[in-house]
Amino acid sequence: MTLLKDINSPADLRHLSRAQLKPLADELRAFVLDSVSKTGGHLSSNLGTVELTIALHYVFNTPDDRLVWDVGHQTYPHKILTGRRDQMHSLRQFNGISGFPKRDESEFDTFGTAHSSTSISAALGMAVAAKIKGENRHSVAIIGDGSMTAGMAFEALNNAGVMEDVNLLVILNDNDMSISPPVGALNRYLARLMSGKFYAAARNVGKSVLPPPMLEIAKRLEEHAKGMIMPATLFEEFGFNYIGPIDGHDLEALIPTLQNLKELKGPQFLHVVTKKGQGYKLAEADPVLYHGPGKFNPAEGIKPATAPKLTYTKVFGDWLCDMAEQDKRLVGITPAMREGSGMVEFEQQYPSRYYDVGIAEQHSVTFAAGLACEGLKPVVAIYSTFLQRAYDQLIHDVALQNLDVTFALDRAGLVGADGATHAGNYDLAYLRCIPNMVIMAASDENECRQMLTTGFQYNGPAAIRYPRGAGIGAEVKKELTTIPLGTGEVKRQGKRIAIFAFGSMVAPALQAAEKLNATVANMRFIKPLDVALVKQLAESHDILVSVEEGAKMGGAGSAIAEALAELGINKSVLILGLPDQFIDHGEAGQLLALCGLDGVGISNSIQGHYHLAEATTVVEPRLVSNSN
């Protein structure tokens, strides 16, 4: 590492000669591969943005000029060039740097991203702010072809396209990939644009050498010529000056083009073509596998786990195929998360009933509603955090019409390395208040399968939540059996203390109960709640506790408290759950313990709250802020 070691800010980068940038790119790419292979994280998208990142920081006066990275999973080169090279070993670890841009991590991280398709809106906001404040700065959004499929991106293009007097550049990083291969009409359109590559190449030769005044004249001539030889691109129809497609790995194309675009007024749109996994043959060959790998040896590549643990995702994927076999009305829907949601086998076995709608969560929910109107039984597989983007569709299009849609909510609760942006902490709270919803939380892998069947058979909107990763090792029975609606079960009979446990918290509650000789109920349903069971235990125990892997405010514990009030039982309930703060990245188990949601923590919280054991040194759950 001869050049990269001396780059501690983009200012250092801008002192390099143009000739040094290519060797720097080689060093940067090698560093990204080496670092991610040691920590795990997002790889193929980062390998694809090495040259683009160098060119952007070389041409634009960052951080005064604003870069907004869409999703932000491709910002490791950006982080390395902006002073965080020596912190990359801590990537996505507790108190380490985030895997996404974070405003409180660096002034170069101008906007926190991770949920896709927000960059154009944010960059436009910054551009309009600069205009209002009379500041002469550039705002640049860098958005991938997958992220471009979300409606929000087009809402922003529509708004920006009529603002001739703002300094906005949108860069489409087109690598012809989402996490999976891309879907939809936009991808086909972009492919057609790329097939016109010869045109762009010729056009950009002119732009790269002409001085600005001449450039304007050339541009007007070009517009005239273009209108004669080819129709305006979609982006020009939206009011942008479209340039491209150009090679996103060619610094000699990128830098002069960006320099020229800097001089132009009004909304600009640069279409760059990159390769996901660029420079690492294994990732180039399989950008899906190398999208978000764990630790691996680059010389050997990712090795399949010898004895993979059964994950809830796999339980869902197997159930989906089995249920589809039994019920021809089942349709499986994913908003661009085929692998993450466990639907690869389902697509192979039932291609005509598999729909990847792209990064379009809002559309996925209302698309499902339309299917349900016609008597089909759609299953929307969606991460808890990503369902947040389709909240109105859930209420207005599904629940209000009481339509038969099943929501399989993976990544419910803390997710670990992806941190606060991806935490599925809020689904119990945001779903519980919606009429007609049935909500279940699985306590183990077998119950997950039963709950999916229960929700699917239920003729109305039903959500089944389950955590990221492996379960507790329960045997999964093949039968597609259901659970009686709205019923919980007593898992352990103790005395004096009753713990109402939900989903992933049943196991740690049982651990705590051993020490306290407490009763533990696996409530199973957050809605409809088993009020009879709440009444039975409240009347026979002095101390009541609820525990959930979800936001305490408005979650399952609130349901218990509301039930006690409605029953006229004048007893309080200690509500244990996730605190009213955002919880950053780290190892999920460690974070749960810090929130007091492991066996010891639950036991300590109960003893401390009710002053049950003077001798026990009660450790109050404390989540130190792990933001940098």
Ligand X SMILES: CC(=O)[C@@H](O)[C@H](O)COP(=O)(O)O
**Residue type at 320 in one-letter notation:** L
Within residues 476-535, the interface with ligand TPP by CB under 6 A covers none
- 145 binding ligand TPP? (CB under 6 A): yes
What residues have CB less than 8 Å from 4, skipping those under 6 apart? 24, 27, 28, 31, 80, 85
CA–CA separation, 46 and 74 (whole Å): 4
Residue from 118, 175, 366, 421 binding Mg ion (CB under 5 A): 175
- Taking alpha carbons only, the member of 611, 613, 591 closest to residue 515 is 613
For the chain, the residue count is: 628
User: Which of ligand X, ligand TPP, Mg ion, none sits in contact with 411, Cβ below 5 to 8 A by type?
Assistant: ligand X
Shortest distance, position 337 Cβ to ligand X, whole Å: 7
Instruction: Note whether 449 and 393 are within 8 A (CB).
Output: no
User: Which of Mg ion, ligand TPP, ligand X, none sits in contact with 161, Cβ below 5 to 8 A by type?
Assistant: none
Stretch binding ligand TPP (CB under 6 A), from 108-116, 393-401, 523-531, 610-618: 108-116
Q: Confirm whether residue 145 is marked as ligand binding.
A: yes
User: Which of ligand X, ligand TPP, Mg ion, none sits in contact with 45, Cβ below 5 to 8 A by type?
Assistant: ligand TPP
Kindly list the catalytic residues. 276, 361, 389
- What order of strands is seen across the sheet that includes strand 406-410? 354-356, 330-334, 377-383, 406-410, 462-465, 438-441, 525-527
Shortest distance, position 152 Cβ to Mg ion, whole Å: 16
Binding residues for ligand X, rule: CB under 6 A, are 71, 73, 179, 292, 340, 411, 415, 418, 468
- What order of strands is seen across the sheet that includes strand 66-69? 66-69, 139-144, 168-174, 268-273, 241-247
CA–CA separation, 5 and 24 (whole Å): 10
Instruction: Note whether 304 and 329 are within 8 A (CB).
Output: no
Q: Confirm whether residue 175 is marked as ligand binding.
A: yes
Residue from 36, 52, 170, 177 binding Mg ion (CB under 5 A): 177
- Of the pair 177, 382, the CB lying nearest Mg ion is at 177
Shortest distance, position 476 Cβ to ligand X, whole Å: 21
Measured from each CB, the residue nearest to ligand TPP is 144
Contacts 24+ apart (CB under 8 A), 219-225: 219/264
Shortest distance, position 292 Cβ to ligand X, whole Å: 5
Shortest distance, position 71 Cβ to ligand X, whole Å: 5
Residue bearing tokens 């999964």: 476
- 115 binding ligand TPP? (CB under 6 A): yes
- Of the pair 114, 270, the CB lying nearest ligand X is at 114
Shortest distance, position 75 Cβ to ligand TPP, whole Å: 10
Dihedral angle sign, alpha carbons of residues 109, 113, 116, 121: negative
Within residues 70-89, the interface with ligand TPP by CB under 6 A covers 71, 73-74
* Distance spanning both ends of the chain, measured CA to CA: 27
User: Which of ligand TPP, ligand X, Mg ion, none sits in contact with 248, Cβ below 5 to 8 A by type?
Assistant: none
Shortest distance, position 179 Cβ to ligand TPP, whole Å: 5
Look up residue 554 and give its DSSP letter. Answer: T
Site for ligand TPP (CB under 6 A): how many residues?
Answer: 21
- Of the pair 188, 265, the CB lying nearest ligand TPP is at 188
Stretch binding ligand TPP (CB under 6 A), from 177-185, 213-221, 477-485, 614-622: 177-185
- Of the pair 340, 413, the CB lying nearest ligand X is at 340
Three-class secondary structure of residue 461 per DSSP: coil
What residues have CB less than 8 Å from 277, skipping those under 6 apart? 43, 44, 47, 48, 283, 284, 285, 286, 287, 290
- 359 binding ligand TPP? (CB under 6 A): yes
Within residues 544-583, the interface with Mg ion by CB under 5 A covers none
- Of the pair 179, 523, the CB lying nearest ligand TPP is at 179
Q: Confirm whether residue 383 is marked as ligand binding.
A: no
Beta bridge partners of 355: 333
Q: DSSP string covering 3-34, please? A: SGGG-SSHHHHHTS-HHHHHHHHHHHHHHHHH
Q: What radius of gyration do the chain's Cα atoms show? A: 27
- 145 binding Mg ion? (CB under 5 A): yes
Look up residue 69 and give its DSSP letter. Answer: E
Residues that bind ligand TPP (CB under 6 A): 45, 71, 73-74, 114-116, 144-147, 175, 177-179, 276, 336, 359, 361, 386, 389
Binding-site sequence positions for Mg(2+): 145, 175
Residues that bind Mg ion (CB under 5 A): 144-146, 175, 177
Binding-site sequence positions: 73, 114-116, 145-147, 175, 280, 361
